[in-house]
């Protein structure tokens, strides 16, 4: 078989995006599939402990809502531990092998879930599936970012974000379609088992795709790294652009190759802790926005909070997922044009307003209020899709330095999953106890996100990963004139909006510093050799 399946240039980038995107579709499918089953009679027959509408004898709605939160949240808790494991496994296994192992674990978890006859087995299966997904979601963005060109990186990862929602949408429609097979257990076993097909597709094709060139250099496999860079750009090794990129990668790697988990918390020249904190908070913001109230519980909200019929609730959940997916395509065409900061601020502001309206329209039940609440569940998803859906899989990988990129992204992904778990866990009891006021909490949180992004998050659009290192090397404060936001705004770009080289790496301040270090190292080595030869000559004469 030809290397990289005989692909190069754009075709190879697309192939990487397809596998990465499939993984994100699998992630989205896993998130959405349980939501459409929580009100399904045959599913609740096997797992009555999570029936919040009709609790088992002797159990209260508050109790069953807590058990439901634990069952749904077991997946996100597994994702958290999978992400934690990747802190140590990421650099050891490499990007490709970590994704392969994660996908294999997901297959095992899906089999356990689909064959469940008791709640304990279902919870364990969801935890195992989550563990594998946590490994994947910690690694795929890094692999994608490290094999993409700076002018395409945003679009590529936003496409993956869109595919998360495609997975959510697909799960809703499959849940709806198979609900007609009631009371057969196939109505819920097949939707859960379907994810195995996506995981097997990843397992079959990822071995033939390229490893991250930056990880290869980190492991002293320079020839392999150069080969990957050439294949990704479809250019020969001697091309000036390839040589410039290769030298920039090598200099960065050799400077940082001793980094590890503990280095994520160092405030050194690279401002590791600063960058890890930004990545962590970025992931946290996505989850505390309240998106998973809708992703996991939309059918339940339509039925129990708005008062719609079971069928109409599942249908609207599927339509909500479809509109959510369509809205996600807006970010693909705007992420590079408007930049990361603008979309994050726009999304958070819109989500805050949507939550305010949802609080008002669900404060009492009426037909008009129900219609308005339904519409704004769609509106909220749209703002999230544009501003935050793919952002947290792109931004952390862009701002963290190479030596801690794997552990730092794993740390940031733990934020995604632990706060995801928190939201999923508290949602059923919150609706049970404080009702519409739940939305007010998330409205305030989203409003708080806006100034945080404006003052603390630098723009990464059209920046190579090595340029981000240079930006933080020049940063001396968290914000203000010497903060990373201002420096990123004013520092000249090395590449234009079409990926053409504007400033050679050797011409930059950073490149000149490393070049001087190389010359000094060579001069020192030559001096040592000369001194050694002189000593040998003297000893020989004596």
Place of tokens 């079409």: 498
Give the DSSP H or E segment for 156.
Answer: helix 153-178
**Predicted confidence (pLDDT) per residue in 478-528, tens digit:** 877 888 889 888 888 877 776 677 777 666 766 676 677 667 767 776 677
Residue 183, preceding peptide bond in cis (omega within 30° of 0)? yes
Residue 311, preceding peptide bond in cis (omega within 30° of 0)? no
Whether this prediction's pTM lies above 0.85 is answered by: no
- Other CB atoms within 10 Å distance of the CB of residue 527: 10
The gap between the terminal CA atoms of the chain, to the nearest Å, is: 63
- Token pair recorded at residue 95: 């990007």
**Is residue 151 within 8 Å of residue 498, measured between CB atoms?**
yes
Kindly provide the residue ranges of all beta strands, DSSP E only, lying in 143-251, ordered along the sequence.
Answer: none
The phi, psi pair for 79, rounded to 5°, reads: -60, -40
Predicted pLDDT of residue 256: 58
Place of tokens 């733990």: 414
Predicted pLDDT of residue 215: 87
Residue 492, SS3?
coil
Q: Which of 161, 133, 168, 124 is nearest to 34 (CA)?
A: 168
**Predicted confidence (pLDDT) per residue in 99-130, tens digit:** 999 999 999 999 999 999 999 999 999 999 99
**Burial, 504: exposed, middle or buried (Cβ in 10 Å; 0-12, 13-18, 19+)?**
middle
Predicted pLDDT of residue 513: 67
Bridge partner residues of 90 (DSSP): none
Residue 483, SS3?
strand
- Other CB atoms within 10 Å distance of the CB of residue 81: 17
Q: What is the DSSP letter of 175?
A: H
Predicted pLDDT of residue 206: 93
B/e letters for 443-471, b = 16+ CB within 10 Å, e = fewer, are: bebbbebbeebeebbbebbbbbbbbbbbb
Q: Measuring CA to CA, how many Å separate 170 from each of 13, 44, 223?
A: 25, 22, 42
- Other CB atoms within 10 Å distance of the CB of residue 501: 13
Number of residues assigned to the chain:
542
Give the DSSP H or E segment for 91.
Answer: helix 61-93
Cα separation, 407 vs 276, in Å, equals 9
Cα separation, 473 vs 467, in Å, equals 10
Bridge partner residues of 477 (DSSP): 483
**Is residue 252 within 8 Å of residue 213, measured between CB atoms?**
no
Cα separation, 37 vs 44, in Å, equals 8
**Is residue 198 within 8 Å of residue 29, measured between CB atoms?**
yes
Predicted pLDDT of residue 539: 62
Cα separation, 360 vs 432, in Å, equals 17
**Is residue 293 within 8 Å of residue 440, measured between CB atoms?**
no
Low-confidence ranges of the chain (pLDDT < 50): none
Q: Measuring CA to CA, how many Å separate 466 from each of 85, 203, 208, 395, 495?
A: 27, 31, 27, 14, 12
Predicted pLDDT of residue 198: 93
Cα separation, 283 vs 279, in Å, equals 6
């Amino acid at each position: 078989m030809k290397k990289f399946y005989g692909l190069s240039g754009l075709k190879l980038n697309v192939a990487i995006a397809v596998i990465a995107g499939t993984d994100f579709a699998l992630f989205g499918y896993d998130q959405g599939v349980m939501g459409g089953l929580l009100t399904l009679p045959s599913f609740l027959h096997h797992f009555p402990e999570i029936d919040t509408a009709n609790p088992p004898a002797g159990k209260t709605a508050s109790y069953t809502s807590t058990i439901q939160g634990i069952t749904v949240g077991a997946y996100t808790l597994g994702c958290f531990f999978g992400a934690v494991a990747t802190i140590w496994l990421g650099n050891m296994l490499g990007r490709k092998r970590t994704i392969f192992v994660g996908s294999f674990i997901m297959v095992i978890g899906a089999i356990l879930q689909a064959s469940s006859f008791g709640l304990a087995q279902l919870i364990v299966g969801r935890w195992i599936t989550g563990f594998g997904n946590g490994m994947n979601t910690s690694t795929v963005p890094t692999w994608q970012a490290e094999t993409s060109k700076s002018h395409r990186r945003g679009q590529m990862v936003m496409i993956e974000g869109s595919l998360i929602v495609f997975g959510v949408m697909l799960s809703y429609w499959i849940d709806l379609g198979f609900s007609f097979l009631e009371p057969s257990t196939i109505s819920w076993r097949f939707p859960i088992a379907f994810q195995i097909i996506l995981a097997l597709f990843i397992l079959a094709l990822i071995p033939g795709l390229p490893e991250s060139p930056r990880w290869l250099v980190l492991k002293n496999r320079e020839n392999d790294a150069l080969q990957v860079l050439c294949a990704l750009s479809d250019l020969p090794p001697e091309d000036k652009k390839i040589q410039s990129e290769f030298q920039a990668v090598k200099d960065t790697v050799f400077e940082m190759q001793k980094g590890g988990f503990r280095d994520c918390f160092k405030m050194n020249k690279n401002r590791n802790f600063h960058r890890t904190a930004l990545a962590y908070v970025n992931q946290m913001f996505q989850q505390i926005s309240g998106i998973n109230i809708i992703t996991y519980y939309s059918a339940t909200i339509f039925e129990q909070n708005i008062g719609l019929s079971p069928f109409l609730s599942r249908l609207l959940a599927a339509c909500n997922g479809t509109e959510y997916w369509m809205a996600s395509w807006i970010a693909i065409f705007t992420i590079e044009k408007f930049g990361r900061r603008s979309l994050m601020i726009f999304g958070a502001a819109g989500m805050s307003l949507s939550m305010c309206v949802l609080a008002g329209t669900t404060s009492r039940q009426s037909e008009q209020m129900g219609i308005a609440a339904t519409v704004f569940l769609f509106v909220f998803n749209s703002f999230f899709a544009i501003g935050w859906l793919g952002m947290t899989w792109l931004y952390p990988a862009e701002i963290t330095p190479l030596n801690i990129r794997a552990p730092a992204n794993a740390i940031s992904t733990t934020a995604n999953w632990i706060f995801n778990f928190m939201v999923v866990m508290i949602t059923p009891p919150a609706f049970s106890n404080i009702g519409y006021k739940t939305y007010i909490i998330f409205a305030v949180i989203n409003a708080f996100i806006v100034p945080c992004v404006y003052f603390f998050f630098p723009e990464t659009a059209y920046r190579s990963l090595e340029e981000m290192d240079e930006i933080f090397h020049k940063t001396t404060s968290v914000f203000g004139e010497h903060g990373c936001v201002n420096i990123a705004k004013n520092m000249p770009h090395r590449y234009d909006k079409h990926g053409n080289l504007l400033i050679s790496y050797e011409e930059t301040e950073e490149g000149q510093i490393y070049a001087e270090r190389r010359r000094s190292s060579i001069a020192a080595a030559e001096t040592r050799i000369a001194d050694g030869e002189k000593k040998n000559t003297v000893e020989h004469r004596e």
